[in-house]
Amino acid sequence: MNFGIAVASGTFKGVFGHGVLSTFEAEGILASSYSTVSSSVLSGGFAAIGQANAIGVDYWIEVAGSNKSMSEIVLESIEKYGPILREKLFHPNTPRFLIGTSRVANQEAADLVQSPQAKRLGKKLLLEAARQNSSWVKQNLEIQIYDSKDPQKKDLLLKDDNFDEVAYASTRMLHAWEIPAQIQGQAYVDGSYTSSCLSKELADIGCDVIAAIGTEPGTFYRDLAKTQEIDKDINIQNTKLVLIQPPFDLATLGVDFTKASEEGLSQSYQLGIETGQSFLTELNKLGI
């Protein structure tokens, strides 16, 4: 059985996914591969190295309580936790680890996303996503998956010396992140623009059971514009997809994408733990 866990993006709402991962870790459930995007990169990384519970909700409370910009918060988190992750993520026996990013595909767009007009563009893209319009994204961005164990794509191999750069690039939402992101001198933006959950990618590398952990209730979409339903995204024969989502909007607990209360984070983390526990029987039936 090749078990994969795909953890979706969601900024502070990602605390729910961290709670689910903590339950799996406590129950001895370890995936052979983890895929992450944006805010799930660090929490997914903690799970991959067996540190989800040790770090726990304190990580989220710390970052949400900062009065710094989102760019500064993420960069400081990477500076603090990057060494812990880099030390263990790249051992031969550590699970395969994927990070989704969005490469800016042309120079005109690259200049724009690294200019003072980037925030205005970011707000426009959110409005277009709400209207299910992803035309700018399709014209100017392409998904890039950095993989810790893919010998076929050496230029996209995730490794110790590029982890910090890739981790930051994966988070850079244009409307709220002021500091541009680059990987090897090329412009990148948040992985969520091209894919907010890499379930299909886990199927493509051979995972036959995949747990996809989302941050929103209702239909689980792969993309910001809500045009691709995740359970229709996998058409590989014999792949079993388990969807794990919060039962209601975490905003009711005080946790929104870029703003969250300490109490709300604690409650959302606990909700993730409880939701993860409710799926243990289903995973056991699948041989996990």
Predicted confidence at residue 238, as pLDDT, reads: 78
pLDDT in tens, 100-137: 999 999 999 999 999 999 999 999 999 999 999 999 99
Share of the chain residues as helix, strand and coil, in percent rounded to the nearest 5: 45, 15, 40
Q: Which residues of the chain have pLDDT under 70?
A: 151, 233-237
pLDDT in tens, 269-283: 999 999 999 999 999
User: pTM of the full predicted structure?
Assistant: 0.96
The DSSP secondary structure of 137-159, one letter per residue, reads HHHHEEEEEEETT-TT-GGGB--
Q: 67: how many CB neighbours lie within 10 A of its CB?
A: 6
Predicted confidence at residue 32, as pLDDT, reads: 97
Q: DSSP H helical segments within the chain, as ranges?
A: 14-26, 40-48, 52-55, 58-64, 70-89, 107-113, 118-130, 135-140, 163-169, 199-204, 262-278, 280-285
Contacts of 62 (CB under 8 A, 6+ apart): none
The residue ranges of every structural domain in the chain are 3-285
Q: Are 21 and 45 in contact (CB under 8 A)?
A: no
CA distances from 118 to 38, 109, 115, 180 (A): 18, 10, 6, 9
Contacts of 68 (CB under 8 A, 6+ apart): 76
Q: Are 44 and 34 in contact (CB under 8 A)?
A: yes
Q: Which helix (H) or strand (E) holds 97?
A: strand 96-104
> Cα(140)–Cα(105) distance, rounded to whole angstroms?
5
Predicted confidence at residue 205, as pLDDT, reads: 93
Predicted confidence at residue 232, as pLDDT, reads: 74
pLDDT in tens, 153-179: 778 999 999 999 999 999 999 999 999
Predicted confidence at residue 138, as pLDDT, reads: 96
Predicted confidence at residue 94, as pLDDT, reads: 97
CATH of domain 3-285: 3.40.1090
Predicted confidence at residue 234, as pLDDT, reads: 66
> Cα(109)–Cα(168) distance, rounded to whole angstroms?
19
> Cα(51)–Cα(89) distance, rounded to whole angstroms?
11
